[in-house]
Structure formats: structure tokens, C-alpha cells
Copies of this chain bind each other. A is one copy, B any other.
């Protein structure tokens, strides 16, 4: 579903320019030409982002920004005429998320809008970032440190989990036992690569249907192991 953006800007031609840039990118755009109708729109409709010009009739941009912020947490991008204003405005703590100086390029506007939409989305919806890896029924959750096979949890020990996670995050690559040992056990670790073999065996026992015909971690004779994605 496309995102809704509200442009609050008194200069009709600039507003239309901004609208065009954003509509090309597939955003739904609405416009308000002064603070009062802008605030009205914010209260009665849902937007994903607001583009706010500082110079406005009626309420000025400062107050408006504050008032919007009291009602919603969505990103507010302030459009200002002078670069020097930015830190002055920032210092006021109005709650704007970013500042764009006129004149700006279409790509700059679009890039900033997209960046803020993405961040807001990220913060609101997934509090914990990419933590899941799924490969043919095998599911790894790196933050809960759990392994599931077709939805059913399989208990894993620390080293087993770290090793499998390393494999799953580096699929279709052969790693020697020496390399794996260094990566999982640590550079300065003393010890024998044999423990890698043993751990691979244990992991296979837990996730492979047929241990003699492994689908996930395959042996590459003389070279090491490869996790197939």
C-alpha cells in the first residue's frame, strides 16, 4: 500500500513541485496551503509523513510543528530557506525529524522522505531487527537463540548454535575446519579442529533427515564444509 504524505506549504508552485516529485515515486500526496488547514488535516486524516514549510501565514511553522507533534509521532520534515536556520530550529526542540534547505534537488527530497519512512516503519513495527533466518523448514532466531525445524523447537547448545548460525549466514561457501575453528572458537583459542567435526556431526543429527545424505551442511572432501541454501 502506498504511503500518504501531507505537504504544508504556502507557496503553491513549490508545493506542486514537491507533490510531483513524490507522486512519481508512488506516494499519495495531499496539500495544505496554510497552518490552520494543515493542522486540521493532521487531526482528521492519517498521514505517514509531513513536509512542513517554515514560512506560513497564520500560525508560524514553529508552533505548527509543535502542535503536530503533540498529536502524532510520524516523521516531520521541515523545509527551510536558510541553512543557518537549521541548528537554531533544532535547538528549539520542536520535534522535527529532519531539515531540508531550499532549493533542494528532487532526489534529495525523495531520498530523505524514503529514509524517514523506512526508519519510522522499522522503529514502530519491528523492535528487533533481522533476527530470523529460514532455510527449507530450518528456522534460526539469533536473538532468542532458538532453532526450529518445521516449527518445532530443537534444543541447541551454545557452540552448536554459533556454528550453525555462522553457516546459515554464509551459505554456499566452503569453509575449512581451521577457518571455522578460528571464527567460532576465536582467534587465540588453543585446541583441535577435531571439535569442529564433532560439532558438525551433532548439528547434523539434530537437523538432517538422513545424516548420510546431509541437505544442509555438506562435506567437501579435503576442503571443509558447506551450508547449502
Contacts and interface: CB of A to CB of B under 8 A. Distances in A.
Interface of A: 69-73, 87, 90-91, 93, 95, 97, 107-108, 111-112, 115, 118-120, 122-124, 126-130, 141, 143-145, 157-159, 172-174, 220-223, 226
Contact of A145 (B115, B141, B223): B223
A107 B87 CA distance: 9
Given A95-B119, A157-B221, 4 more contacts: A73-B126, A143-B174, A144-B172, A158-B220
7 contacts: A72-B129, A73-B122, A87-B108, A141-B172, A145-B174, A158-B220, A158-B221
Contacts of A71: 129
A220 B173 CA distance: 29
Main secondary structure on chain A at its contact with chain B? mixed
Nearest to A175: B143
Question: How many monomers of this protein are in the complex?
Answer: 2
Contact of A222 (B97, B107, B157): B157
Contacts of A157: 221-222
A58 to B, nearest CB: 14
Nearest to A71: B129
Nearest to A130: B70
Contacts of A93: 115, 118
Nearest to A98: B98
Contacts of A87: 108, 111
A187 to B, nearest CB: 11
B129 A70 contact: yes
Contacts of A143: 172-174
A126 B72 CA distance: 10
A130 B70 CA distance: 6
B123 A97 contact: no
A227 to B, nearest CB: 10
B226 A144 contact: yes
Contacts of A124: 123, 127
